Every structure is written in structure tokens, then in C-alpha cells.
Amino acid sequence: MSIFDVGKMCTFSKISGVILNNGQPVAGAKIIRETRYEKTFSDQAVTDDNGYFEMPALFVRSIAKFLPMEFGAWQSMKIVLDGTEHKIWGATKTSKEENSESKGKPLIVTCDLSDDEQVFQVSGETFFTKCKWDVEKDEPLFSDGVYFDDQIKDDNSEDVN
């Protein structure tokens, strides 16, 4: 660790991958990524002809790294295509380390705008996403495969809460 890494915490790991719509690559889509820890930061990328994109890791420096407190960086990604926004990623990153979203592996995703949003956890971090990546998900908290009690429906298919 160098002197320049003092207080450095990763709020969003390096991410790359492909954006699809109904299984077909989406060229020229604008990706907007936001992260918030103490302040909001936003950056953008545009997919190439094959739907490929790449974005660097985002870091903050804070004295909080050395304090006995929990870390929580809010993450969001959306795609703007033909003037319409498509949310593809929402999470709260609870580890200061890079690649915690993928248990230490590079974060390489495939996101299909036509897919339903999935909810799952990785190392206790909750993801609401249309993206898939090589990671072992946590076991659901409930036997019927849901992660939160507010996902449980009654017999009339209405929220219990």
C-alpha cells in the first residue's frame, strides 16, 4: 500500500460488459453511473457497435476508513436509449474493497433491457438489477426463494406489508 492509498475506499468497482435488448447488442446507448458516499459522483460511457462498455473503478478518500463505522455506498446505473431511461443496477456497496460486488473477481456483466429486474444478495450486499455476472449469490432468507419479507405475497397476490 502506498501513501496515496491512505483512506481510499472503492464506491463502485471497475465494470465492463455488454448491453442487450431482446438479446441483441445495443450500439450507442449512454450509460449513466452514479455513486454516493459523503457526496454524489456521476460518470458516463457509450456502448460501441457490439454493445460493449467499460468504466473505471470509483474511489473516495475519507478519514471514515479508519473509524469504527459501517461503510455504505449507494450505486446506480441506467441506460438512456432513444430518450428513454432504463434502470439496470441499484445496490448499496457495504465493503470498501474493489470487486466486492463479484467476490473479488472482475465485474464483467451482461445486461438485457428486456429482462425483468432481479433481486438478490452477494456477501450481504443487495442488488436490484437486470445484469448477470459470474458470482455466487447468497442463499435467500426464506424457503420460497425471496430475500426480504416485503417480497412475500398473500393469497390475493398483494403485498403483505
pLDDT of residue 72: 77
Domain membership of residue 14 (yes or no) is: yes
Q: How many domains does the chain have?
A: 1
Neighbouring C-beta atoms of residue 84, cutoff 10 Å: 9
pLDDT of residue 65: 47
Domain membership of residue 161 (yes or no) is: no
45 closest CA partner among 10, 90, 9, 14: 14
Domain membership of residue 159 (yes or no) is: no
Distances, alpha carbon 118 to alpha carbons 62, 89, 100, 127, in Å = 32, 10, 19, 8
Q: What is the pLDDT along the chain (161 residues), one digit of tens a residue?
A: 444 455 688 899 999 999 999 999 999 999 999 999 888 999 999 999 999 999 999 998 765 445 555 677 899 999 999 999 999 999 988 888 899 999 999 999 999 999 999 999 998 888 999 999 999 999 887 665 555 555 444 444 454 44
Q: What is the DSSP letter of 56?
A: -
Domain membership of residue 156 (yes or no) is: no
Domain membership of residue 116 (yes or no) is: yes
pLDDT of residue 147: 56
Domain membership of residue 158 (yes or no) is: no
DSSP 104-117: TS-EEEEEETTSPP
Domain membership of residue 157 (yes or no) is: no
Q: Which helix (H) or strand (E) holds 41?
A: strand 39-46
Q: Which domain holds residue 35?
A: 3-151
**CATH number of the domain to which 38 belongs:** 2.60.40.10
Domain membership of residue 94 (yes or no) is: yes
Residue 79 CA from chain centroid, whole number: 13
